[in-house]
Amino acid sequence: MPLTYWCEHAWLPEGVTGGVLVEIEGERIARVTRGEPGGAERLAGLTVPGLANAHSHAFHRALRGVTQTGLGDFWTWRDQMYEVAARLDPDAYLALARAVYAEMALAGITCVGEFHYLHHGPDGRPYDDPNVMGHALIQAAREAGLRIALLDACYLTGGFGQPLSGAQIRFGDGDSERWAARAEALAAAYRGRHDVEIGVAVHSVRAVPPEHVPVVAEFSHRHAAPLHAHVSEQVAENAACVEMYAATPVQILNEHGALGPRSTAVHATHLTEVDLELLGRSGTHVCMCPTTERDLADGIGPARALFDRGAPVTLGSDSHAVIDLFEEARGVELDERLASHRRGHWRAAELLTAATSTGHTSLGFPDAGMLVPGAWADLVSVRLDSVRTAGAGATAEALVYAATAADVHSVISGGRRVVSDGRHVLGDVGAMLAEAIGRLR
């Protein structure tokens, strides 16, 4: 039976419109029209397409509020992250990821790009099913009501010219050919599952030597699958890369076939003019993660310059210091204000597009993130009468500069009701998170 929702206000391709009827058949939007509510279910406030979190490491959520004591930088934070990675098994990962993805759903996220490199057992040996950790993540997303692009990461070295050590041995497959064999098995297991996209990732140029990058790129080309990579997150990483290869990370990825419209450079914080040109000219997506860059003191990436050169911009919550894509969206603008001492780099509609249709496209779901017939039936309704949004009006600006994840009151994902009145169908997500994280302490 078709379902019809009446949106008090809806953000359509032409802008915000009042009194919009959205008819859903199965997992897709069948019709979008103007009209009176009649017997349709009412969605108060402003309804937007589902949000896409283009960069996630689910297990990093266990670090929120824990890594804030004392001094340090990215590298000291990484040591604490490895301690959590060392303690996870498939059951614990399923429980944690399910709770994290439910938290995302509460924030209006209907699709996640999970950058997955925690593959094997604590001693580095594969589980009986070498992809059991990936299966746990996919199961978690489905149970929480999200589509998932599982971006299986190739991870071979512990740094430039260094072997894997400590918790890193769980990440590696030995070489790119063995990684590819495992990734092929994972892709085969989900072939035809339209709510799951098996993509790939070059963890970083420090973890994947240049001669192995083409194997990852070839997988992406053969399967028409997303290819993501951490790029130039740290100044120290760039310096070490140039010293080793006389090239920047972006130049290495470009030389080995890993840039292009299906690719996404995550972070892209410390770039040269050549890097900007290569990313823009190739149409490579760039995923900005402002709350993580802020938390780890990484820096401010040149998002507007990349966008103006032709690189589509997406958003991610990365380490989950915060899970709130409205905060990520405004962070892109506000951080550029801090760097430039002026306001008005981005229109609110551009930032909402980054959080919706562009993000979905970068994850292999180009038919999502829009309230149009034929698109995935993802509807996210945001209150306009909360203490944050009251008086701001039904505008894109109200969402980007006033709303938070706490203002999301209803989420329909793929035609399925996932959040009602701010509560997830799985129950108390806070309790789920506390239990799952408590198992790792």
Q: Which residues pair with 41 in a beta bridge?
A: 5
Nearest-5° Cα angle at 240, 237 to 241: 85
Catalytic residue among 152, 173, 295, 318: 318
The answer to whether 194 is a known catalytic residue is: no
Tokens of 373: 């017939």
Beta strands at 423-424 and 416-420: parallel, antiparallel or unpaired: antiparallel
73 is written with which tokens? 């930088």
Active site residue 285: no
CA angle 263, 340, 289 (to 5 degrees): 35
Contact 172, 164 (CB under 8 A): yes
Helix (H, G, I), strand (E, B) or coil at 247: coil
The catalytically annotated residue of 267, 285, 320, 409 is 267
Q: Which two tokens stand for residue 247?
A: 């090239």
Count the alpha carbons within 13 Å of 284 in the hemisphere toward its beta carbon.
32
Best CA proximity match to 151, nearest among 64, 27, 53: 53
- Our CA angle for 87, 91, 95, nearest 5°, is 95
In b/e form, how buried is each residue of 9-26, taking b as 16+ CB within 10 angstroms? bbbbeeebbeebbbbbee
- The two beta strands, 51-56 and 109-116, are parallel
Q: Which residue has the tokens 């400590």?
A: 166
Report the SS3 class of residue 404: coil
The helix (H) or strand (E) run that includes residue 350 is helix 348-355
- In whole angstroms, give the CA distance from residue 369 to residue 21: 17
Active site residues: 267, 318
